[in-house]
Structures are given as C-alpha cells and as structure tokens.
C-alpha cells in the first residue's frame, strides 16, 4: 500500500538516498519527472516529500523549501560553484595544532565561507594535547568575535562545551584533511563509529576518511554533518567590495575609515589598518583578507 511521507536526507550513495523519517531510515531514489523539474541536486540536509509505492520502493518527489544553502567554489581550476548541504544552522570549523600543522590562512577561508553563506561559525582548535600552549592559536579569532573551543580527544578536553553548542542544532563540521573531525564526533557521541585515519608521514598532510557528506542524529534533537576534509578552499561569486564582509571584525571598524570605498589595504585613514597596527585585529587575519581580495579581483576580471 503506497502513501506520501516527508523526511530529511542523511546521505547519498550513487543514485540512492538515505532518508530519515521520524526515528527510522529508508532508501529512496529520484523519479524521472523529478529530474526534469529540478536542475540542482538533492543535498544532505534537504527536507523532501516522498512517495511510497505498492512494490515497496520509495521515490523523492519534491524538495521542500530550504532555510539555508551552503556553497563554495568548486575545487581545482573550475570557476563554478558546489552546493554542499541544505538547512544548516551553524558551521563548526575544525583545525589542528599539529599533525597537520595549523594554517591560519586556510582556517580563515573556512570561516569566510560561513560568513558569506550567512551562517554562524564556531572554531575548534583540536589536538590540543600536542602543544604546550594551544590557546595561542585561538587569540586571533577571539579578537574577531568567534567562539573558540579548545579540544583534545585523548584528554577529553572541551568536549562538554562543544557538545552543548551542538545540541538542538543542525551543525556541519568542516576543516582541512586530517584534523580529526571524525574522531572528535566519535568522542562527542559514542556509537557513531565514524571511520578515522592517520596523518600521512610524507609531508604531514591528512588522509581522507570521510568520502562524502553524511548527516547523523546528535543528542536529543540535533544533527551533525560530517564532511570530507578539504585541501582546496575557495569562495564563489564574491565581488571585491564584498570581501570585507567575510571578516566580521572589519565591519564596525570600516565605518570609521576616511573613505567610503576604502579597501583596507594602504589607504590613508583606514581604521582597519590602524587596528592591525594597534594589535586590535590580528595581522594574520588581515593577510588572509588581502589574499582573498586579490583572488576576488582576479575572478572578477575573468567573468
């Protein structure tokens, strides 16, 4: 006996989607007419309308309205866009103090993606047991106004604080390859049994253990999305004049710049540059801004 049902997409394997309906999971595929109506793909996090057929199969008939859409630039030399997930409440950006080493410019790119997508971000400094002063990695981001959580799975450090941040929300975990996202999620919610891996001995780069985005129930009424580690992180469709909006600590300062069209580079009377000189804005954050601005200008030339 057939019928209509609604659910949330947890994962995709080939042409098959794992969908959560209430407390159960089921497999669904796309109907031909759905493919004709929709140009974009069904994403992890999408709320969907399905039809259960008399033969026991289930097809996705419709994507319900999205509250958010997380996008980034497609990897490599492509100038296109890649949709990552839908209906996310917040982004958790995870970096490691060691194995692989902390890269401020890379972390800033992940945070910029959250800002451009209008999603709040929490920064996690992971593997704190590998450094005698892990707090130094958080300083630039505390100045920027981000919530920063210091974590260590072996020491169980910061897990309760991070767990409370995730409860009741749909949170997407992202970050460079090998920083321990899956291990962290396993520690936050025992029983997930996500696959984990070591850092490559050659070059200290991480190895991919998560191969595609996948959503899991978390706590009482939350969800977490584990995503593959990334080595190439780019913003998509960002005009040069919009880059400063990806750095929230610049926003209030920019109203005090002498020129309305200040680019926060070397202009006289730039409040952002003055704040960097005073130590009120981290130099590393300003360097990241300058790099992203250069990339945005270059991309604008090729449109």
pLDDT of residue 200: 41
Q: Is residue 147 located within the same domain as residue 281?
A: no
In a domain, 55, yes or no: yes
| Dist. CA 85–CA 45, nearest whole Å | 6
pLDDT of residue 36: 55
pLDDT single digits (tens) 243-263: 999 999 999 899 999 999 999
CATH code of the domain covering residue 188 = 3.40.50.300
Helix (H) or strand (E) holding 61: strand 58-63
Q: Domain boundary residue among 199, 226, 253? A: 226
State the average pLDDT for the chain. 88
In a domain, 233, yes or no: no
pLDDT of residue 81: 77
| Dist. CA 255–CA 269, nearest whole Å | 11
Q: Is residue 77 located within the same domain as residue 141?
A: yes
Question: Which residue segment(s) compose the domain that 175 sits in?
Answer: 69-226
In a domain, 9, yes or no: yes
Q: Is residue 94 located within the same domain as residue 191?
A: yes
- Residue 67 or residue 300, greater confidence: 67
Helix (H) or strand (E) holding 90: strand 90-96
Q: Domain boundary residue among 15, 45, 63? A: 63
Helix (H) or strand (E) holding 84: strand 81-86
| Dist. CA 1–CA 3, nearest whole Å | 7
In a domain, 234, yes or no: no
Alpha helices in 117-166, H assignment, sequence order: 139-143, 159-166
Long-range contacts of 193-197 (CB under 8 A, 24+ apart): 194/226
Give the pLDDT band (50/70/90) at residue 77: low
What residues does 21 pair with on adjacent strands?
Answer: 24
Q: Is the distance from CB of 195 to CB of 204 less than 8 angstroms?
A: no
| Dist. CA 200–CA 99, nearest whole Å | 9
Tokens of 279: 């130590």
Is 80 exceeded by the pLDDT of residue 278?
yes
CATH code of the domain covering residue 52 = 2.40.50.140
| Dist. CA 93–CA 70, nearest whole Å | 14
Q: Is residue 129 located within the same domain as residue 81?
A: yes
In a domain, 109, yes or no: yes
Section 264-285 average pLDDT: 97
Q: Is residue 104 located within the same domain as residue 138?
A: yes
Q: Is residue 112 located within the same domain as residue 175?
A: yes
Residue 253: what are its φ and ψ, rounded to 5°? -65, -35
| Dist. CA 96–CA 179, nearest whole Å | 5
Is 90 exceeded by the pLDDT of residue 93?
yes
| Dist. CA 166–CA 158, nearest whole Å | 13
Order of strands across the sheet that contains 214-218: 147-150, 121-126, 90-96, 170-174, 222-226, 214-218
Q: Is residue 74 located within the same domain as residue 155?
A: yes
In a domain, 21, yes or no: yes
In a domain, 292, yes or no: yes
Tokens 């995709």, located at residue: 12
Give the pLDDT band (50/70/90) at residue 242: confident
Query: In whole angstroms, how far apart are CA 65 and each of 60, 62, 216?
Result: 14, 9, 21
pLDDT of residue 299: 77
Section 270-285 average pLDDT: 98
- Residue 302 or residue 295, greater confidence: 295
In a domain, 137, yes or no: yes
Q: How many domains does the chain have?
A: 3
pLDDT single digits (tens) 168-221: 999 999 999 999 999 999 999 988 878 765 544 444 433 445 567 899 999 988
Instruction: Please choose, from the candidates 63, 54, 6, the residue with its C-alpha nearest in 3D space to the C-alpha of residue 34.
Output: 63
């Amino acid at each position: 006996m057939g019928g209509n049902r609604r659910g949330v997409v947890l994962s995709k394997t080939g042409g098959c989607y794992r969908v959560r309906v209430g407390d159960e999971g089921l497999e669904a595929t796309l109907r031909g007419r759905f493919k004709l109506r929709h140009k974009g793909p069904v994403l992890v996090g999408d709320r969907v309308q399905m039809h259960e057929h008399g033969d026991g199969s289930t097809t996705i008939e419709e994507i319900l309205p999205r509250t958010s859409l997380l996008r980034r630039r497609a990897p490599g030399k492509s100038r296109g866009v890649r949709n990552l997930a839908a209906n996310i409440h917040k982004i958790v950006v995870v970096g490691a103090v060691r194995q692989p080493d902390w890269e401020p410019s890379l972390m800033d790119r992940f945070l910029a993606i959250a800002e451009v997508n209008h999603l709040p971000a929490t920064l996690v400094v992971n593997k704190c047991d590998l450094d005698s002063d892990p707090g130094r990695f958080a300083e630039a981001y505390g100045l920027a106004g981000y919530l920063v959580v210091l974590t260590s799975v072996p020491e169980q450090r910061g897990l309760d604080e991070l767990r409370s941040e995730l409860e009741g929300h749909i949170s997407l975990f992202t970050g460079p390859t090998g920083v321990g996202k899956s291990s962290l999620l396993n520690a936050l919610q025992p029983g997930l049994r996500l696959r984990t891996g070591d850092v490559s001995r050659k070059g200290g780069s991480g190895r991919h253990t998560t191969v595609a985005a996948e959503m899991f129930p978390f706590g009482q009424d939350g969800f977490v999305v584990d995503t593959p580690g990334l080595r190439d992180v780019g913003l998509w469709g960002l005009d040069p004049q919009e880059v400063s909006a990806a750095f929230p600590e610049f926003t209030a300062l920019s109203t005090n710049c002498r020129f309305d069209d200040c680019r926060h580079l070397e202009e006289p009377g730039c409040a952002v540059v003055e704040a960097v000189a005073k130590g009120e804005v981290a130099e590393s954050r300003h360097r990241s801004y300058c790099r992203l601005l250069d990339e945005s200008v270059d991309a604008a030339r090729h449109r």
